Amino acid sequence: MSFRSERTMTALAGSLAIALTLTACGGSDSESSAEPAPSSDTPVTVQAGFIPVIDVAALYLGDEQGFFADRGIDLEVQTGQGGAALVPPVVSGEYQFAFSNMVSVLTARARGLPLQIIASGSSSTGEDGQDVSMIRVPEESDIQSAADLAGRRVSVNTLNNLLQMLGDVAVDADGGNPDDVEYVELPFPDAVAALDGGEIDAMVTAEPFDTIAAGTGTRVISTPYLEMSADPLTTSVYFSSEQQLNEDPELFQAIVEAINESLEYAQAHPDEVRAQLSTFTQIDPAVIEQVTLPTYDPEIPEESVQTFIDTAKEFGIVEGTVSYDDLVWSGPEN
């Protein structure tokens, strides 16, 4: 098996280029009059782009509970395999909003795309050894801590994105040099097999693949989000385009309210979240019962976002200046 060690962003760069072209081609005037707020009497169909991951279970559950319908929103979900692929349809207006991790949206914004976060998707747990992303090694490995990853092959699902940044954070916090780590890009299922077969030395995980990897004889050497902050961090988000937000702020206020109610319900009903996973993922039922669920918190603390901005810049994931106010939509103007 061969691996890519160079740090590339081919998929994201391609999607950004397409989206920038769509932005340049225009669309309707951002100063257009806003449509009336949706209601049960005047429902609006909203297209959303999701990735089939645990985080979005909250919105499937919230839609099932009627939180979107109560606000006159007929939610239609389209699925994609990665956050970068969901950027162009949001910029073009085909989708009203989509899901992605914090780093992908931050990177897109830093590269000039007019994207803004409208709501939280999920947060880390803040629990040592039981978080949504961990760094694992084989049980018999001589690697004892993140600093030992220097000169080793470490898998991430996408180079120069969230999980690589988490690897860098962990190595740096442990006194090592992140530049000495050989990151290799592997889809999660392939990475689990490669770790079990000794073809890589470590894996930066994300649920449910952390739980799957735990069942193959591995151990945790780092809880990287805790190296970024002792408090839970907003790690995934829902985003839209500035143009759409400016054109119909009342619709997006209703969307945000429905998302936030969905998150609060999911946090209070973890068993229902687990039950929801079998409806849109192919996760083994035995794994579903064991996965570490994220925290579903509707708040997007400025400190959390700033931590991501500072960390992404420190490790070269993002260049340029992005502020909290640039990145996070403040809602309709009064």
CATH of the domain at 166: 3.40.190.10
Contact yes or no for 93/243 (Cβ under 8 A): yes
Reply yes or no on whether the pLDDT at 60 is more than 70.
yes
41 pLDDT tier (thresholds 50, 70, 90): confident
Reply yes or no on whether the pLDDT at 197 is more than 50.
yes
The reply to whether 249 falls in a domain is yes
The reply to whether 199 falls in a domain is yes
Reply yes or no on whether the pLDDT at 61 is more than 80.
yes
The reply to whether 5 falls in a domain is no
Bridge partners of residue 285, in order along the sequence: none
Q: Helix, strand or coil for residue 219?
A: strand
What integer pLDDT is reported at residue 67 of this predicted model?
Answer: 98
Q: Where on the phi/psi map is residue 217: left (φ > 0), alpha (ψ -120 to 50), or beta? A: left
Reply yes or no on whether the pLDDT at 15 is more than 70.
no
Report the candidate in 34, 33, 223, 225 with the shortest Cα–Cα distance to residue 135. Answer: 223
The C-alpha atoms of residue 323 and residue 327 are separated, in whole angstroms, by 6
Contact yes or no for 229/169 (Cβ under 8 A): no
Query: Mean pLDDT lowest for which of 28-37, 122-131, 310-319?
Result: 28-37
Q: Are residues 15 and 105 in the same domain?
A: yes
Q: Cβ neighbours of residue 264 under 8 Å, at least 6 residues apart? A: 296, 298
34 pLDDT tier (thresholds 50, 70, 90): low
What integer pLDDT is reported at residue 84 of this predicted model?
Answer: 73
Reply yes or no on whether the pLDDT at 11 is more than 50.
no
CB atoms within 10 A of CB 231: 14
Q: Which amino acid is at 142?
A: D
Q: Helix, strand or coil for residue 156?
A: strand
The C-alpha atoms of residue 175 and residue 94 are separated, in whole angstroms, by 46
pTM: 0.88
171, 196, 228 — which closes off a domain? Answer: 228
The reply to whether 271 falls in a domain is yes
Q: Are residues 245 and 176 in the same domain?
A: no
Reply yes or no on whether the pLDDT at 31 is more than 80.
no
Bridge partners of residue 50, in order along the sequence: 79
* pLDDT tens track for 143-196: 999 999 999 999 999 999 999 999 999 999 999 999 999 999 999 999 999 999
Q: What is the largest CA-CA distance in the chain?
A: 64
Helices (H) and strands (E) counted in the chain, each on its own, are: 14, 10
Reply yes or no on whether the pLDDT at 10 is more than 50.
no
The reply to whether 130 falls in a domain is no
Q: Domain residues for 260?
A: 10-124+232-327
Reply yes or no on whether the pLDDT at 3 is more than 60.
no
CB atoms within 10 A of CB 148: 18
The reply to whether 2 falls in a domain is no
Bridge partners of residue 122, in order along the sequence: 236
Q: Are residues 24 and 60 in the same domain?
A: yes
The C-alpha atoms of residue 45 and residue 27 are separated, in whole angstroms, by 19
172, 196, 228 — which closes off a domain? Answer: 228
Q: How many domains in the chain?
A: 2
Query: Mean pLDDT lowest for which of 28-32, 58-62, 315-319?
Result: 28-32
Average pLDDT, the chain: 90
Q: Are residues 236 and 282 in the same domain?
A: yes
Q: Are residues 171 and 314 in the same domain?
A: no
The C-alpha atoms of residue 331 and residue 29 are separated, in whole angstroms, by 19
35 pLDDT tier (thresholds 50, 70, 90): low
228, 243, 265 — which closes off a domain? Answer: 228
What integer pLDDT is reported at residue 37 of this predicted model?
Answer: 75
CB atoms within 10 A of CB 187: 12
Q: Are residues 190 and 222 in the same domain?
A: yes
Reply yes or no on whether the pLDDT at 226 is more than 50.
yes
40 pLDDT tier (thresholds 50, 70, 90): low
The C-alpha atoms of residue 60 and residue 136 are separated, in whole angstroms, by 30
Higher pLDDT, 63 or 17: 63
Q: Cβ neighbours of residue 87 under 8 Å, at least 6 residues apart? A: 15, 16, 19, 98, 100, 108, 113, 115
* pLDDT tens track for 266-286: 999 999 999 999 999 999 999
Reply yes or no on whether the pLDDT at 216 is more than 50.
yes
> What average pLDDT score do residues 231-240 get?
97
Q: Are residues 50 and 175 in the same domain?
A: no
Report the candidate in 307, 304, 305, 309 with the shortest Cα–Cα distance to residue 322. Answer: 309
Reply yes or no on whether the pLDDT at 6 is more than 90.
no
